[in-house]
Structure 1
């Protein structure tokens, strides 16, 4: 008996599903916000004050519950004293906040 191994392969139609893409983008956005906030040593409340948002709004973004928009990225970048960086793709690491150059 010879060995036969199978593996799960994501069907190509799922890879381009707009809902899945939006979910991955929201998660990447949330992780980027969390990473920068923690790097600055800010609490959720402090970031909310800086961005003129509520703590619930910040937490929702960090949990991947908010789709990134250009206006929201600009607002949060200003509050985080950073620039927004985007790469092609929709996965974690495709968006991040980078500290302003000194």
Structure 2
């Protein structure tokens, strides 16, 4: 059995879809890392944030674009502060 290799072009990297997926993955990693720092299970964090464990699992897999309301609840549940900023390009 062989596996195909995919190459991501600069055009792909600059697409809105790629950028959205990248941000979702980065957020997922931040949430998972902090959850593990606090030694919380997905079920524990989900309960703290007012969501279900399957919802949290999807978020940690990078498959969800959460609302600001959910991000705020997650920040509090993770004992952190939610900070949103804009950064100039270039």
On whether the aligned pair clears a TM of 0.5, the verdict is: yes
- When the two chains are superposed, the root-mean-square deviation of aligned CA atoms in Å is 2.0
- The residue that corresponds to 1:56 in the other structure is 54
Unmatched 5+ stretches in structure 2:
1-6
Unmatched 5+ stretches in structure 1:
1-7, 89-102
Q: Structure 2 length as normaliser, TM-score?
A: 0.77
Provide the rounded CA distance (Å) in 2 between the counterparts of 1:9 and 1:53. 34
| 1:43 maps to 2:29 | no
Structure 1 runs (4+) greater than 4 angstroms displaced = 85-88
Shift of 1:83: 1.2
Provide the rounded CA distance (Å) in 1 between the counterparts of 2:75 and 2:23. 17
Shift of 1:71: 1.9
Q: Structure 1 length as normaliser, TM-score?
A: 0.69
Q: Rg larger in 1 or in 2?
A: 1
Relative to its length, the structure with more strand (as a share) is: 1
